Amino acid sequence: MEEQLRGDYMSIKFIEDKGCFHLKTKNTSYIIGLFKGKYLVHGYWGGKINDPNTDEMVIYEDFNSFSPNPDIEDKTYSLDTLNQEYGFYGKSDYRNPAIEVEYENGSRITELYYESHSIVGKKVGLRALPSAYAVEGDRVSTLRIDLRDPVESLLVSLYYCVYEDYDIITRFVEVKNKSCGKIKLNNVSSLCMDFEENEFEFIQLVGSWVREREIVRQPVGRGTHIIESKRGASSHHKNPFVALARRNTDEFQGQVYGFNLLYSGSFRSLIEVNAYNQMRFTMGLNPFNFSWNLFPGEVFESPEVVMAYSQEGLNGMSRLLHSFYKERLIRGEYKDRERPILMNNWEATYFDFDEEKIISLAKEGADLGIELFVLDDGWFGKRNSDKASLGDWIVNREKLSSGIEGLAHRINSLGMKFGIWVEPEMVSPDSDLYRSHPDWCIHVPNRTKSEGRNQLILDLSRREICNYILEKLTNLFESANIEYVKWDMNRSMTDVYSIGLSSEDQRQMEHRYYLGLYGILEELTKRFPRILFESCCGGGGRFDPAMLFYMPQTWTSDNTDAISRLSIQYGTSLAYPQAAMGAHVSIIPNHQTGRVTDLKIRGDVAMSANFGYELDLTKLSQGEKEEIREQIRWYKANRKLIQYGEFYRLKSPFHGNETAWMITDRDKTEFILYYYRVLKTPNMPRRRLRLKYLDSGREYIDTYTKRKYYGDVLMNLGIVIPHFPGDFKSHVIHFKAKE
């Protein structure tokens, strides 16, 4: 277990006389009790408590005669109604367990009793999975609690990493086989948390390709809710994020608990309410097609979960997650560095281009002030459509006569950085790689292979295939001055089977795939620290914190329509910062929706995240080019605030015709207000928009009109939104505090 040393501040205490652990952040307390000296119980998580009393926190009476008692000498309690910290199966708890184990004798019964604990003033990391980190001076501590099965010699270690200044706790689990026989893990949740009642609504981010991360909010009620992906990726359809909010919670006030899994594959979050309105929440790997054979002495680690509690509504929760991800998850040279304005040739050319066409686009971009040119799909092998050549990472000289090195040099000579698109996890059946190694893809022998977008997935659970990808990409990235890489992955998993694994180990395949992928990404980011990597999965199909650990930004969606992007970017911001979102201005009619919007609103939406263009600049009018030139000038002047400021949602596109958000600096001396209206409503009076999160006593100046407003006026009275003729309009105002 890798330990990341940081500071000597201890935010975790074991209060022996009360039999409890008290985990403290700046504004919260998390309390774990020891019941009967052996059961780990969940006592409390919420606003800060100075002196916990576990007698008041744990209700344990046996009020259900149909819940058996695990202790025949003590009939006062049953595990069926005890609020536990990591539920197990078979000893009177009938709720979904956090862990499911099968032993050599066929038994699936588990007992997990407290054995010991340790507290260290540092962040403990994971061996092979991405995890949050700490830096010198952080007030961070880690609690490890060891639970042991007294019969089967199973050791389950629960890790709690407490970031005092960030109001964040992370959790993961380590399972060790200390017996002499094999143990099969069929489910290992990264966390389990029991609540006394179910007066909550749960919030999830759902959708599909080009319609990612719609906010869906539902009452918890009775029964079981499952938020999951079984697609071999965190997916467009469900995001590995869940919030539990009190019913009166909105964007600006109320209690909310946020959970985000650092994992890019299939996951499951489960909310279960029993007959007594007690609620259990679990999150981790999806057990649907998972099991892991653990031999004597071996250890299995679960992905890490980031947890954030706020009493200041959904914006408060998001602010905690955004700050934590920007400062203690994202790594590398671009962690705090301003991201370049880019242009991508995809919607300008698709597969139909040659070197001179690319250079003509780059020249237009350079003249307008764009800083990075990204060569998208179609530059390699015989890739003239999406039907061939994935896996053949050799430049097509018929298209690019100078090769990648020569093209990069020509683009650099224009004053622009050069970037390139790859999809290295995939292989086309019509490719030299597939013809040489038809058994390298994920498939079941003797079955017809299921294709998606005319491609198959390479089996990254096999070391030789990972080594091949590392070699090919290293050769490519060393061949030219490449400073940006868009890493795509354009299909979900099917035929999940590896010929490199035994029949006993086939349900390990997907998790081993991601261990292989993370190993590749770790090595490549070390070899090429100057490259800005952007993750893509058909747009936002793998927008998760695990990918942010390796790649500081993600292509938010293949849907570039400004109106669609209002809801996509709004929903994404519930968990992820704007610095992680790629957003581009594209052509009209939009290629995904056919919608026609003016250049202003397209720019105003994209200029609230990582900004770029994806259209044929050579076909624009002089007036359009001048407007783009002004957008680029404005964005460059305000880029640091936009990318690294604090993002707050004001009006939701899911609840009406208007959307608004704002980005402030940390000290509230400067902010940008973004307002968008979709459809024109006739004969309506002017509307006021009330702002939030300002310094009430400060005087702010509209940098364009020079009008002055005090913060309390902007927040209580609001600002009048001007009349706009027509549909699809936007208004952006930059304010600075009076010096």
Query: For residues 284-311, b (16+ Cβ closer than 10 Å) or e, as one string?
Result: bbbbebbbbbbeeeeebbbbbbbbbbbb
Residue 73 burial class via C-beta count within 10 angstroms: exposed 0-12, middle 13-18, buried 19 and up: exposed
| Helix%, strand%, coil% for the chain, nearest 5 | 20, 35, 45
556 CB-near residues (< 8 Å, 6+ apart): 212, 539, 540, 543, 565, 568, 569, 572, 581, 582, 583, 609
Per DSSP, the three-state class of 655 is helix
Count of alpha carbons within 13 angstroms of residue 660, beta-carbon side: 19
Cβ distance 581 to 610 under 8 Å? yes
> Has 488 been annotated as catalytic?
yes
Q: Which of 377, 558, 561, 604 is labelled catalytic?
A: 558
Helical H segments across 458-505, by residue range: 463-478
> Pick the catalytic residue: 488, 544, 561, 604?
488
Neighbouring C-alpha atoms within 13 Å toward the C-beta of 239: 32
For residues 270 and 226, the answer to whether their CB atoms sit within 8 Å is yes
User: Reduced to 3 states, what is the DSSP secondary structure of residue 622?
Assistant: helix
Say if residue 352 is exposed, middle or buried (CB neighbours under 10 Å; 0-12, 13-18, 19+).
exposed
CB 606 within 8 A of CB 565: yes
Angle at 372 between CA 596 and CA 341, to 5 degrees: 55
DSSP characters over 403-439: HHHHHHHHHHTTT-EEEEEE-TTEE-SSSHHHHH-TT
In which element (H, E) is residue 103 found?
Answer: strand 99-103
Three-state helix/strand/coil letters over 231-299: CCCCCCCEEEEEEEEECCCCCCCECEEEEEECCCCCEEEEEEECCCCCEEEEEEECHHHCCEEECCCCE
DSSP string, 326-348: HHHT--STTSSSPPPPEEE-HHH
Per the CB < 8 A criterion, the answer to whether 233 and 492 are in contact is yes
For residue 619, CA distances in Å to 360, 624, 647 come to: 11, 10, 35
HSE toward the beta carbon, residue 394, CA cutoff 13 A: 10
**CA–CA dist 491, 453 (Å, integer):** 7
Per-residue exposure over 689-702, b if at least 16 CB sit within 10 Å of its own CB, e if not: bebebbbeebebbe
Closest-CA residue to 213 (of 504, 502, 539, 661)? 539
* Residue linked to tokens 């000579």: 413
Q: Cα separations (Å) of 214 from 318, 538, 592?
A: 16, 17, 17
CA angle 604, 610, 612 (to 5 degrees): 70
* Letter string b/e over residues 518-540, b meaning 16 or more CB atoms within 10 A of that residue's CB: bebbeebbeebeebbbbbbbbbb
- Upper half-sphere CA count for residue 321 (Cβ side, 13 Å): 34
Active site residue 430: no
* Alpha-carbon gap, residue 653 to 213, rounded angstroms: 12
Under 8 Å between Cβ of 700 and 719: no
The amino acid at 167: D
What does the alpha-carbon distance between residue 469 and residue 489 come to, in Å, rounded to a whole number? 14
Q: At what angle do helices 509-527 and 463-478 cross, to 10 degrees?
A: 30
Using only C-alpha atoms, what is the Rg of the chain? Answer: 27
Record the tokens describing residue 268, joined without a space: 């499951």
Q: Known catalytic residues?
A: 488, 558
